Amino acid sequence: MDLDYLKAHPSQLPTFLKHQRIRETPVPVGSICTAQRLTLDDGGSLFAKTLVDPPPGFFEAEAEGLRWLRSGGADFVPEVIAVLPDMLALTWIDHGEATPAGAERLGHRLAALHRAGAPSFGAAWPGYIGTAPLPNDPSPGPWGAWFALHRLEPFLRTSASNGALTPDDVAAVSRVMSDISSYGGDEPPSRIHGDLWPGNVVWDRRGDGWLVDPAAHGGHRETDLALMGLWGGTPFYDRLLAAYQESWPLSDGWSERVPLHRLYLLLVHTALFGASYRESVRSTIRSL
């Protein structure tokens, strides 16, 4: 039982796990899934994550996104080895620490991935962010109207219905949505990760960054960069951003749009986790 065999016969993974042909070692991860390191007969390893009773197509959506990112030249995205209804197995990454040089390399690589582009905003498969459905209906744009309709409005509606946001909060976000064209920044769709907060960058032993747990789709490249600065920011974020700008300079006014892009992920959090993220939404609205 080696990696080549498993790639050719991914459906056999549960059988080998059941009969203890693969060593399983728990891996702590800050996510909704349970993770394990799977060690094969030849000593190679895989990263596998599972979820009890996942939503329909949950792991299939992530696998589609990972493959799509890799098809855009992103070899810093793990390879999908096996995808099952309740499990996703990927190539193993030996964890290390971020380095300034690695952050710069990631900036250049991220720019190249974004440049690979997308045929439309959205994606060809139903998406998820966490366990929340992510509307991926393909659209030609423009970006602002698409972003308001498919990335802000669904999570605003849920955040209102679950009580995470007050009527005044909902009105404030709605004003941003109705005036979204005034922020500018419309661009053709880029090939983006879509959920690129700092916890979704894994650093290997060379100090290079890998993109994991995507909500991949055709979107605005500024979204990935804005989310990387949330909650303390990706290590050496300034170096990463400078390298990105060398490869593909951002449009004028992009820094003023950062809160707009972050509002998307914050609304996802009020939709999923409730009022504990209410003040983050409010401060982001104030900064806009």
Q: What is the pLDDT of residues 47-87, one digit of tens each?
A: 999 998 999 999 999 999 999 999 999 999 999 999 988 89
Task: Choose between 13 and 161: higher pLDDT.
Answer: 161
Task: Choose between 281 and 52: higher pLDDT.
Answer: 281
Q: What is the pLDDT averaged over residues 33-45?
A: 84
Handedness of CA 15, 20, 21, 24 (dihedral sign): positive
Residue 29 reports pLDDT greater than 80: no
At residue 31, the pLDDT reads 72
Note the pLDDT tens digit of each residue in 140-153: 989 999 999 999 99
CB atoms within 10 A of CB 60: 17
Q: Determine what percent of the chain is predicted with pLDDT higher than 90.
A: 80
Cis peptide before 142 (omega within 30 of 0): yes
- Give the pLDDT band of residue 11 (cuts 50, 70, 90): confident
Transcribe 11-41 into DSSP letters.
GGHHHHHHTT-SEEEEE--SSSSEEEEEE-T
At residue 4, the pLDDT reads 75
At residue 39, the pLDDT reads 87
Tokens of 77: 């995205």
At residue 273, the pLDDT reads 95
At residue 33, the pLDDT reads 86
Residue 2 reports pLDDT greater than 80: no
Q: What are the structural domains of the chain?
A: 3-91 (3.30.200.20), 100-287 (3.90.1200.10)
At residue 19, the pLDDT reads 64
- Give the pLDDT band of residue 30 (cuts 50, 70, 90): low
- Give the pLDDT band of residue 108 (cuts 50, 70, 90): very high
Q: What is the pLDDT averaged over residues 232-252?
A: 96
At residue 43, the pLDDT reads 79
Tokens of 50: 């599972």
At residue 200, the pLDDT reads 95
Nearest residue to 249 via CA among 215, 221, 277? 221
Question: What 3-state class would DSSP assign to 235?
Answer: coil
Cβ-contact 219, 121 below 8 angstroms? yes
Q: Quote the mean pLDDT of the chain.
A: 93
Residue 209 reports pLDDT greater than 70: yes
At residue 23, the pLDDT reads 78
Question: What 3-state class would DSSP assign to 219?
Answer: strand
At residue 20, the pLDDT reads 66
Instruction: Give the whole-angstrom CA distance, residue 250 versus residue 161.
Output: 36
Amino acid at 178: S
Amino acid at 235: P
At residue 281, the pLDDT reads 98
At residue 1, the pLDDT reads 63
At residue 263, the pLDDT reads 98
Instruction: Give the whole-angstrom CA distance, residue 111 versus residue 30.
Output: 27
Sequence-distant (6+) residues with CB within 8 A of 175 are: none
